[in-house]
Amino acid sequence: MWLKVFSIAVLALFTGTCASNMDKYEGYNKYTVFHDGEDAFNYMVELQTESTELDFWLLTRNMSIVTVSPKEQNAFESRLTELNAQYVAKPLMEEMSAYNETLPTCDGAECTLKRTRRQARGFFSHFPRYSEILNYMSALAARHPQNCRYESLGRSYEGRHLAALSISLNSRGRDRRVAYIQAATHGREWITPLTVLYLANELLNNLRAFQRVLQDVEIYLVPLVNPDGYEYSFTSDRFWRKNRHRYASRSCFGVDINRNFPNNWNYHGASQNLCSEVYSGTGPNSEPETAAVARYLEYNRHRVKLSLDVHSFGKYLFYPYGYSRNAVAPTRNLLHSVAQRAANQIAKYRGTHYTIGTSAGLLYEASGGLDDYAYGNLGIPMSFTVELPGENFQVAPSDIIHVCKETFAGFIEFIRHVSLY
């Protein structure tokens, strides 16, 4: 009887907390908009950079997914009708209710009590919070001290560690080529750090099988580049994108880290409206998170041969340049070839098909991303952005492991090319 009462109490707490990070979205609609005309596409691009009442989840040349507040829905629908853009609207809360069971209410060790039996089967069957991720990383390094180093790349605006793992066959060896991989640049993209941690887990527990891949290569992983935004998306706002930079006497918070790197900063697809989802900050590298990544890459620029920035969602593999449709990378053919080989390996697992190209060509022009900065400013020869599969920012618990496994195959193919430099 006591156990039954305890279980009901935990479930009530779980459900209540799940609701808290969705409270502000009551009455919001999720729109899937189909826009073949250039006028409609340009309208969507303008909204993406300037509107504070719309949140773009996906914006391509002919289709967008966007959430709209109740007070803007009538005007938005009227304008779409004027532009002959077809759309499907669905209440956002209705769609997300199917995923409520996947929203953790706990942090760190507390999760052991509150996680269901099905979720407790493994680390890759639920979405871990910041402390649980750091504990997992620390444990990996402790179990593999000769091959893994756990360290902090720096601290976030709110003081959280930008935790990193360095993996190599022999940690005391000579300087190696580096494959740098980061994730969770946007707080709401919960699946991304798990794919990076799965890579670390598989490599460290199967070192002999991956000796050829790791030969003379150091893999440097930063699963949570935006830990503040990540935590805030659990506790307060499920769809929080930016970091949590606070500005005196201003009601809006945060900078989009994915618009804050120095390459063509604030050129296209970014905004100087602090309330915008793509606010680019007060200047290049203005954010502690961006600055920490830039310091590491600049210091190791002659060793780093691969930069991967893992995002969600859309099933895309992007390479430079993303800031302009007219900018062409000198080694475009090589970049496309490497991305295609990675996509082919991903597809072997369950047929997931990735689209390959520049974000400017396939989606829209956006400046200040890591891929353009690593390639254009630092000369890192292979620089890519990965947009994982999904229909929104939530992945069913049963699908987490499958996304991790198929992405792992792509990661290994990318890393395999590091030995060529």
Three-state secondary structure of 274-296: CCCCCECCCCCCCCHHHHHHHHH
50 is catalytic: no
How confident is residue 38, by pLDDT bands cut at 50, 70 and 90?
confident
- What CATH number should be reported for the domain whose range is 108-420? 3.40.630.10
Q: How far is CA 158 from the centre of its chain?
A: 19
Say if residue 11's pLDDT is above 50.
no
Q: Are strands 29-34 and 86-91 parallel, antiparallel or unpaired?
A: antiparallel
**Distance between CA 172 and CA 419 in Å, rounded?**
19
Residue scoring higher pLDDT (106 or 394): 394
* Sequence ranges of the chain with CATH classification 3.40.630.10: 108-420
* Sequence ranges of the chain with CATH classification 3.30.70.340: 18-97
Q: Is 58 left (phi over 0), alpha (psi -120 to 50) or beta?
A: beta
At residue 16, the pLDDT reads 42
How confident is residue 49, by pLDDT bands cut at 50, 70 and 90?
confident
| Tokens read off for 310 | 């893992």
How confident is residue 121, by pLDDT bands cut at 50, 70 and 90?
low
At residue 234, the pLDDT reads 94
Q: Is 191 left (phi over 0), alpha (psi -120 to 50) or beta?
A: alpha
Q: Are 313 and 390 in contact (CB under 8 A)?
A: yes
Q: At 392, which amino acid appears? A: N
**Residue 64: other Cβ atoms inside 10 A:** 27
Q: What is the mean pLDDT of residues 142-154?
A: 95
Q: Which fold has domain 18-97?
A: Alpha-Beta Plaits (3.30.70)
Write the DSSP assignment of 278-341 as a string of letters. Answer: TB--SSTT-SHHHHHHHHHHHHTTTTEEEEEEEEESSSEEE-S--S-TT---TTHHHHHHHHHH
Of these residues, 189, 218, 231, 387, which one is catalytic?
A: 387
Q: Are 192 and 208 in contact (CB under 8 A)?
A: no
| Tokens read off for 228 | 């503040």
Helix (H) or strand (E) holding 151: strand 148-155
pLDDT tens string 286-341? 999 999 999 999 999 999 999 999 999 899 999 999 999 999 999 999 999 999 99
At residue 355, the pLDDT reads 96
**Residue 260: other Cβ atoms inside 10 A:** 32
pLDDT tens string 171-222? 555 678 999 999 999 999 999 999 999 999 999 999 999 988 888 899 999 9
At residue 98, the pLDDT reads 63
**Distance between CA 171 and CA 162 in Å, rounded?**
21
**Residue 250: other Cβ atoms inside 10 A:** 9
